[in-house]
Structure 1
């Protein structure tokens, strides 16, 4: 059977491009089809989680991405005001990108990772991901091209691609992944629907939203207080969220539209002035609308040889910045499984494990995002919040106290970033006992199978994560871990010996099998003939 490529990816946003880069790195041939003329020109996702940055580190692009977005020493604080030129209500201080590089270990207890979160718009990240994908000979990105029909059989998938000039082309591959957003054509062609909560109404982050991208360096002159990454304004006239895109004068402002209202370029100046408290010159770059109030997950994430990832598989209200980051984790989970299937290493259950692992993770993360949206969206704004009176000052103190609590709750979330676990996965050697609690604001490293492998700084200053292989890694911890691993012709295995007391304590075993996506598949204190069954389980060909 002739194939044009191993994997077709519908959608060239950050999830599709990351998946292409990961598959290309793994030696697979990939075709990405996207309906836009190129990478994004309007800022959308602006927060890269620690886990996403860890995946970018595996691709070798985390340092390049960390140099993008805000200037190195620009604060990444989240600040709350009545209006930017009036009263500051609350502020959550967060490290700059230079701090994340030079003083990372000062936050090691809260963030046990080699990569702190990074505040940078997908506007800048997509070109990096595209270059990373196209650096591999087998990966090709084609714009102004839309997957409009597909069919599949026992051996592959055929897609019909609509081109901008009205023509069409066909592409046949072993597998297809729909990364084509919330209005996913692939999901529709699969006959699948979202399940969950939609249409939630809130005072903010619940309903139709307008997002205007603009240049206004003069905003800094009108603003009281220090610079930040996010500026929230709350007053009886308007609530808004302004995000600094480049730290030099480019911003995006989000406001909630009233019933029946649509984005209007003529209204942008008024909205900016209402948020700032004064008119100021600006240049409008683009204006769009989107809808908040969703916590949705596709009823299935796989149908035969077709998979869903990113917004095609789940739709978030963007509080917490979880939508795009959940999509990157989808792609990291799926990539190595597709590699194993194409190269003949996969057992019959490996591809099924994608939905078994990622669908519960999507429900988990949409649940967190919904909590954050409720926390800020339903907050009541006192009528006298702007009054220069004792009552107004008391109202600001009270609201500020709540907002300080909320900001920590939504933005200091290592547990959300690092705590995804696959304890119920069919390809994980399940252990008895209870895992650490899955909480938003605290991450407790855990060596139980299914969890993200705990990070450790080694004596030479490097990260343990940088020592893992591209495939599975057998981690030997301690001088006594000298048993010989039974060879496996079906699954490439990187053997890594590490005599490190901290690592042995964190992982809780002499031997640990780490998957290509840095989750633990198994741990134990002996290697014997039963390890062959562990390898079979991890590649989807066995059972505990």
Structure 2
């Protein structure tokens, strides 16, 4: 049977581009289509989670990504004001990108990872991912072209592609992935719908939002020592969120529209003046709108040979910055499974595991985002908030106390970012007992199957993650590190298994086993103290085969 590619991807946002790059790294041919003329021109996602940065590290682009966005010495603080030129209410201090590599060890108690979160707009991330995707000659990215129809059978998916010049072409692939956003054409063609909560109304982050991208060199001079990554303003006229895009003169401002109002370029000057407290000259680059108040997950994330990932599979209110990052995890989960299926060492049950693993995570993450949105969106403002008297000072102190609490709740979330687990997965050799609690603000590393493999710094200064293979990795830890691995003979054919001897007592204590099987997406498949048939069974189970 003739195929145009192994995998067809609809949508060249960050998730689609990352998936194309990941599949390319794994040697698969990819055709990616997007109706835009190129990478995004309006800033959207601005927060790269620690887990996303770990995946970028695995792809070999984390250092490049960390160099993008704000200048290295620019604070990445989250700050809250009545108005930017007036009263500061609260501030969460965070390191700039230049300090992150040095501080990652100092912050290990909270963030046990080789990669701290990074604040950088999708505006800069997409070109880096596009470049990574193009490293694979068998990956082709087509802009001004979109999937508009699809048919599938037991062996292939054929998509109709509409081009900007009016042409209609077809593309036949072994699998198709819909990464085409909240209004997903692919999801619609499958007849699938979102389920969950929509239309929640709050004072902020609940309802129609206007988002303007603008250039204002003078705003930088007004801020001076107040510089931050995010500037939240709360007053009785308006609540807004201003985000520094380049750390020099470019920003976005998000405000909530009143019921029935439409975004207008004419209103941006007024919105800025209300947020800043004074009028500043600016040039409007682009203006758009979006809707907050969603916590939605698609009723199915797979139908036949078609999968959904990113916003096509789940839709968030963006508090906590979780929508884009959950999508990157979708793609990382799916990529190695597609490789196994295309190359023939994965059983068809591997396809079912994607929804079994990722749909519960989508529900978990949308719920965390909803909680963060409630915490900021329902804040009540005292009448005296901006008064220059004792009542005003007391009001600001009270509101500031809550905002300090909220800032840690929403932005110091290692548990959300690193705590994804697949304990109920059909691919995992499940263990008895209780897992660590799944909390937002504290991450407890665990060697239990299904969990993200705990990170350890090794004596040579490298991360344990840097020693994982592209396929499955068998870690030999503690006493196991000094034993011969001849028992592995014959297993390498199943998923490109490599073994790594790690003589680290810390790693042995964290994983609580002599031997640990780590999947290509850095989640644990199995652990034990004996190398025998159990390992072979675990590896086959991880590839979707029925365990003997």
Q: 1:377 maps to which residue?
A: 377
Cα deviation code 1:259-281 (max 9, x no counterpart): 11111011101100110000110
CA 1:366–1:266: 2 relative to 1, 3 Å: same
Q: Tell me how far apart the structure 1 counterparts of residues 494 and 41 of structure 2 sit (CA, whole Å).
A: 44
Q: Give the alignment's TM-score, normalised by structure 1.
A: 0.99
| Distance (Å, rounded) in 2 between the aligned partners of 1:97 and 1:542 | 46
Deviation, structure 1 residue 487: 1.9
1:538 pairs with 2:548: no
Equivalent positions of 1:56-135 (< 5 A) are 56-135=56-135
Q: Indicate if the aligned counterparts of 2:148 and 2:162 stay in contact, CA closer than 8 A.
A: yes
| TM-score normalized with structure 2 length | 0.98
For the residue of structure 1 that corresponds to 2:432, the secondary structure is coil
- Alignment of 1:514 onto 2:518: yes
**Partner SS, residue 522 of structure 1:** strand
| Structure 1 segment 314-325 matched on structure 2, within 5 A | 314-325=314-325
Distance 1:253 1:336 in 2: 38
Q: Is the 8 A contact 1:486 1:532 kept in 2?
A: no
Could you tell me whether the CA contact under 8 Å between 2:480 and 2:515 is conserved in 1?
no
Aligned counterpart in structure 2 of residue 529 of structure 1, from 511, 528, 533: 533
Checking the alignment, whether the CA contact within 8 Å between 1:301 and 1:309 is kept in structure 2 is yes
Larger mean CA deviation between 520-529 and 99-108 belongs to: 99-108
1:338, distance to aligned residue in structure 2 (A) = 0.1
Contact preservation (8 Å) 2:77, 2:229: yes
**Alpha carbons of 1:224 and 1:130: their partners in 2 closer, same or farther (altered >3 Å)?**
closer
Residue number in structure 2 paired with 1:435: 435
What's the offset of the Cα at 1:223?
Answer: 3.3
Distance (Å, rounded) in 1 between the aligned partners of 2:247 and 2:63: 19
Q: Which residue of 1 aligns with 2:326?
A: 326
Q: Which residue of 2 aligns with 1:287?
A: 287
Q: CA deviation at 1:222?
A: 2.7
State how far apart, in whole Å, the 2-side matches of 1:441 and 1:530 are: 36
SS of structure 1 residue aligned to 2:349: coil
Structure 1: which 5+ residue stretches go unaligned? Answer: none
Q: How does 1:256-275 map to 2 (within 5 A)?
A: 256-275=256-275
Q: Which residue of 2 aligns with 1:399?
A: 399
1:466 paired with 2:470, answer: no
Distance 1:65 1:224, change over 3 A: closer
**Match for residue 214 of structure 1?**
214
- Determine whether 1:48 maps to 2:48: yes
Given that 1:88 and 1:224 are in contact with CA atoms closer than 8 Å, whether structure 2 keeps it comes out as no
Instruction: Name the stretch that deviates more: 409-418 or 224-233.
Output: 224-233
SS at match of 2:226: coil
For 1:495-543, what per-residue CA distance to the aligned partner results, in whole angstroms no more than 9, with x for missing partners? 1111110000000100000000000000000011232211111111024
Equivalent position of 1:8 in the other structure: 8
CA distance in 2 between counterparts of 1:12 and 1:45 reads: 14
Question: Is this contact kept in 2: 1:301–1:308, CA < 8 A?
Answer: yes
Match of 2:508 in 1: 504
- CA change 1:480–1:126 in 2 (3 A) is closer
Note the C-alpha offset of 1:225. 4.7
Task: Give deviations 1:416-460, integer Å, cap 9, x for gaps.
Answer: 000000000000000000011000000011000000000000100
Determine helix, strand or coil for the equivalent of 1:530: helix
Alignment of 1:444 onto 2:447: no
Q: Do 2:14 and 2:129's aligned partners in 1 also have CA atoms closer than 8 Å?
A: yes
Contact 1:11 1:180 in 2 (8 A): yes
CA distance in 1, matches of 2:534, 2:416: 34
Spell out, residue by residue over 1:105-163, the C-alpha distance to the aligned partner (whole angstroms, 9 max, x if none): 11011100000000000000100100100110110000010100000001100000000
Distance 1:222 1:5 in 2: 53
- Once residues 100 and 222 of structure 1 are traced to their aligned partners in structure 2, the CA distance between those partners, rounded to angstroms, is 27
What is the CA distance between 1:470 and its match in structure 2?
Answer: 0.1
Deviations 1:463-503 (A, max 9, x none): 11010000000000013452522522333201111111000
CA distance in 1, matches of 2:348, 2:277: 62
